[in-house]
Amino acid sequence: MAAPSRPAVPPAASDEPALLRPEIAAMAGYVPGEQPQDEGWVKLNTNENPYPPSPAVADAVVAQLAGRAPAKYPDPLAGRFRRRAAEVLGVDPEWILCGNGSDDLLTILVRTFVGAGEAMRVPTPSYVLYRTLAAIQGAACEELPFAPDWSLPEGFAAPRTAAGLPVRLAVLPNPNSPSGTIVPRRDLESIADRFPGALVIDEAYGDFADADCLGLVRSHRRVIVTRSMSKSYALAGVRFGFAVARPEVVRELEKVKDSYNCDALSIAAATAAIADRDWLRGNRATILATRARLSVALERLGFAVEPSQANFVWCTHPRRPHRPLYEALKARRILVRWMQYPGWGDGLRITVGTDAEIDTFLNALGEILAST
């Protein structure tokens, strides 16, 4: 209980045995997008929703704060959320597993399906975290490049890597980041028909797209869809995501998750959010309208812009190097994401902010392009 005095740090003896697993010592660690803790930034770098969540969220959290609720362990399976989400999605509650953000679900999935020394497969350029999760697990991560039109390469469904390792898990973000593109349903179905491992379709941005893959979970027992509440429900700060999978798969994933991986406040928040369908429809319509305006304006500024199905836009400039643009914007306290993929190239990923934020961004970008 008593506060002890400041520690004196003894030096580490250089002949001590290695403490860490060599995989951990060797890896660099995933670096998430910058999260400045001070105010005054136009933050278009981590695909947060620029609007506050449904007002029902705050009411639900405040109700949870009364009395002893914060002192009691939460429901391990978040039954309230499962029941409400099941109604929305048209599945039974036991098809749903809740997670502390969809990153938690991706971690659970890798640990459930991929052993040390085995392999998983992802497309590239895509979400860099997948590779990190493989490294932590001591597994290989085969990265197959997207075709120039962002379709999947032949071979994404192959049972083994080029080096001959069995591929236990493939992850396909759909819509993809950074491109914002989707793979057509018939191509996904063809992969699901042929790939012999677990196929995870990461629909973190699915609510902004024209179609989703829940139907594939029903028709293919090895398909798992993951969803995030961070983007489309404006709950990035609350950490809540869920997976949709067949019940016999969900029961296995439950063994691997932490017992109480979702807290009582986030369960209340997420349940209120997913129930407010009017809020989702209205927010989505606003984001999509701003996205269309942003895409046109970037093209007018000379960028090549991918048609986006997400809440961000991927753009490249045929002549101007991207990193100095990112840095000049940052100097004006506007954060976008400069992304570079070794052997592939780089570009800028711009989150769809409010109309005012996008105006600020476009004006600044126009000035930077004109002045340098």
Q: Which of residues 115-144 bind its own copies (CB under 8 A)?
A: 115-117, 129, 136, 138
CB of residue 317 vs its own copies: minimum separation in angstroms?
27
Comparison of 238 and 329: residue with beta carbon closer to its own copies: 238
**Between 355-371 and 322-331, two packed helices, what is the crossing angle to 10 degrees?**
120
Q: How many other CB atoms are found less than 10 A from the CB of residue 39?
A: 6
73 CB-near residues (< 8 Å, 6+ apart): 260
Segment contacting its own copies by CB under 8 A, of 61-69, 144-152, 320-328, 331-339: 61-69
All residues at 6 or more sequence positions from 54 whose CB lies less than 8 Å from its CB, including other chains = 233, 234, 272, 273, 276, 279, 280
User: Of 73 and 148, which CB lies nearer to its own copies in the complex structure?
Assistant: 73
Least distance CB 58 / its own copies (angstroms): 4
**Min dist. Cβ of residue 202 to its own copies (A):** 15
Burial of 14 (0-12, 13-18, 19+ CB in 10 A): exposed
d(CA 176, CA 197): 21
Q: Which amino acid is at 39?
A: E
Whichever of 64 and 322 has its CB closer to its own copies, that residue is 64
- Distance (Å, rounded) from C-alpha 218 to C-alpha 189? 12
CA-based nearest residue to 136, from 155, 165, 121, 115? 115
317 phi/psi in degrees, rounded to 5: -110, 135
Site for its own copies in 296-355 (CB under 8 A): none
Q: Which is nearer to its own copies, 54 or 303 (CB)?
A: 54
Which tokens go with 160?
């083994």
One of 161, 174, 230, 311 touching its own copies (CB under 8 A): 230
Contact between 245 and 97 (Cβ < 8 Å): yes
Nearest to its own copies of 236, 368 (CB atom):
236
Between 179 and 230, whose beta carbon lies closer to its own copies?
A: 230
Q: Which of residues 164-223 bind its own copies (CB under 8 A)?
A: 168, 196-198, 207, 212, 214-215, 217-219, 221-222
Task: Provide the minimum distance between the beta carbon of 28 and its own copies in the complex, in angstroms, as a whole number.
Answer: 8
Please tell me the count of residues contacting its own copies according to CB under 8 A: 114
Closer Cβ to its own copies, 256 or 296, answer by number: 256
Q: How far apart are CA 37 and CA 175, in angstroms?
A: 29
Query: What is the signed CA dihedral for 280, 284, 287, 290, rounded to 10 degrees?
Result: -140
φ and ψ at residue 270, rounded to 5 degrees? -70, -35
What residues from 259 to 298 belong to the interface with its own copies (CB under 8 A)?
259-266, 269, 280-281, 284
Nearer to its own copies, 37 or 371 (CB): 37
Contact 226, 252 (CB under 8 A): no
14-43 residues in contact with its own copies (CB under 8 A) are 16-17, 19-25, 27-30, 32-33, 35, 37, 43
Q: Does 112 bind its own copies (CB under 8 A)?
A: yes
Smallest gap from residue 287 Cβ to its own copies (A): 12
User: What kind and span of H or E run contains 326?
Assistant: helix 322-331
